[in-house]
Structure 1
Amino acid sequence: MSQLTITLDDNLLQAAQEYARQHGQKLDALVARLLADTVRPTASEPQQTETIEERLAMVRQLSGSVKLPADFDYRVVVAEELAKKYGI
């Protein structure tokens, strides 16, 4: 694997390191994934897709990240937001 040296603003570097730490990743892996997601594969390279297991792992990681009251009814919130949006 090749190495790359980049120069970043100190604040950006600190924020990126914190983001990676909060998401349980190494900064270099995060940057590599970002670049891989950004660069489109050429016609000669097959497009790599995430496996179902990888997607399930992401969903499981997100599960429970938002705490809602026991009596929360999303339908009420949706109705209120639609009423605001359309002036009903």
Structure 2
Amino acid sequence: MSQLILTLDDDLVQAAREYTHQNGQNLEALVTQFLQSTIRPTVAAQPAAEPSRPLSPRIQRLFGAVQAPADFG
């Protein structure tokens, strides 16, 4: 693993520390999460791969059985 040194505004660092403390994270985890979400596309954004073998009719009937709210996730 590598280290990265950032120079940031003191007020921004303090606000980030308060945010992470309130949300049970640490600053390193927050920055890592931000970089990963910015640089690496999410799995949900990529089209699903076709199954290597056909799904059983029982499993196929499950598709669409659960409707999640638009803001779910």
User: Which residue number corresponds to residue 64 of structure 2?
Assistant: none
Q: Is 1:2 equivalent to 2:2 in the alignment?
A: yes
Q: Which has more helix, going by share of residues?
A: 1
Determine the structure 1 residue equivalent to 2:14. Answer: 14
Deviation at 1:40, TM superposition (A): 3.0
Match of 1:32 in 2: 32
Partners of 2:29 and 2:9 lie apart in 1 by 19
Which structure 2 residue ranges, 5 or more long, are not aligned?
A: 45-71
TM-score by length of 2: 0.55
Instruction: Specify the code of the residue in structure 2 equivalent to 1:26.
Output: N
Which structure 1 residue ranges, 5 or more long, are not aligned?
42-46, 50-58, 60-88
Distance 2:40 2:28 in 1: 20
Q: Equivalents in 1 of 2:43, 2:28: separation in Å?
A: 20
> 1:48 deviation in Å?
5.0
Aligned length: 45
1:29 deviation in Å? 0.6
- Looking at structure 1, the residues matched to 43 and 6 of structure 2 have their Cα atoms a distance apart, in angstroms, of 26
> Residue type matched to 2:2 in 1?
S
Partner of 1:28: helix, strand, or coil? helix
CA RMSD of aligned residues (A): 1.9
